[in-house]
Amino acid sequence: MHIPNQETYKTITPINKGWSRDQKFYLETQDGEKRLIRFSPVSLYDQIEKVYEAIKKMASLGFPMAKPIDFGMTSDKTYVYMILSWIEGKDLEDVLPTLSEEHQYQLGLEAGHILKKIHGIPVPEHLMPKQTGHMKKQRQINDYKASKHRISGDRHALEFIETHMERIWTRTPVFCHGDFHPGNLIYMADGHLGVIDFNRVTITDPYETFYKLQSFARSISIPFSIGQIHDYFENKVPDDFWDVVALYVAHASLYSITWAEGFGEEDIRHMTQLCKQAFADYDDFKVVIPTWYRDPETVSYGGISHASSNL
């Protein structure tokens, strides 16, 4: 892989973490500046360019994040690359279990605050999606139904999806990170959060983001998951939120098993476990508010009884 201006870097180290098929490298310049470069197939040039432009918009919002430095095509025209600043710190998913519940909750508040900023970026009319996500979601569920990895007891989830599908995409689409969860957040030395991995930036239903709490945050930190919801809605969660997010959770819980088939048996088992956890938390989707959630009035982590972001 040819790194643009390769001679200016004293360190070039491959990064193999994550499910993305992009090739990623940690870079360090001769002057000690740390960066990340990711390569995607050149066939995705237009898509990656739109992502890069969206990242530039997010970089103006004031929260710590991997900021855009450069974008282009490799000299052999086989890859498109994006260079971003490096966020120093520890993966939040590793740190959260070591912190007090109060601290976890505070970080959830901070995450919710950041998320709301991202969703507040104005979307130009020419970028507004021409279609809703209904057809894609239905196609994915059909793929799950035809899969050899269907799990027992999926009938209730499938029925819930069928009866609630029309409730998604009723809100104005917004810019979304696309994969906002503790695995893509960095716990920095000053105790605040930095955001990384923007390669799935999209414009979609803002509520879709929140199924990631069930998939990737709930098992790590319930206080964090609760805090993110509290701060995002300033303690006033709208009634329609729960129906819609439960639909996204039901869909993702099933389809993620099919999606994992491209990565191997270990990932299939992992996604199956997450699916079963969602079935339990939502009582086979007989309820739309998961059992782990607590209203602001009933939360008490180390003396915190309501959401109060300090950002």
pTM: 0.93
pLDDT, position 308: 44
pLDDT of residue 304: 54
* pLDDT over 90 at 177, yes or no: yes
239: exposed, middle or buried (Cβ count in 10 Å: 0-12, 13-18, 19+) = exposed
- What's the rounded mean pLDDT across residues 108-127? 97
Helix (H, G, I), strand (E, B) or coil at 213: helix
Residue 302: per-residue pLDDT: 55
Model confidence at 243, pLDDT cuts 50, 70, 90, reads very high
Residue 2 has a pLDDT of 79
Task: Tell me the domains of the chain and their CATH numbers.
Answer: 6-85 (3.30.200.20), 90-298 (3.90.1200.10)
Cross-strand partners of 28: 11, 34
Q: Is the pLDDT of residue 307 over 80?
A: no
Of the candidate ranges 250-259, 287-296, 299-308, the one whose mean pLDDT is the lowest = 299-308
Residue-level pLDDT at 264: 92
Q: Judge whether residue 309 has pLDDT over 50.
A: no
In this prediction, residue 248 carries a pLDDT of 98
Average pLDDT, the chain: 93
Mean pLDDT computed over 84-104: 97
Instruction: Identify the band that residue 96 occupies on the pLDDT scale cut at 50, 70 and 90.
Output: very high
Average pLDDT over residues 13-23: 82
Are the beta carbons of 252 and 137 closer than 8 angstroms?
no
Model confidence at 164: pLDDT above 90: yes
Report residue 161's pLDDT band, with 50, 70 and 90 as the boundaries. Answer: very high
82: pLDDT confidence band, cut at 50, 70 and 90? Answer: very high
CA distance 227 to 279: 22
pLDDT at 303: 53
Q: What pLDDT is attached to residue 256? A: 97
The residues, any chain, with a CB within 8 Å of residue 258's CB and separated by 6 or more, are 140, 143, 144, 147, 149
* Nearest residue to 180 (alpha-carbon basis) of 121, 128, 225: 225
How far apart CA 175 and CA 311 sit, in angstroms, is: 21
Mean pLDDT of 274-292: 97
Question: What is the band of 18 on the pLDDT scale with cuts at 50, 70, 90?
Answer: low
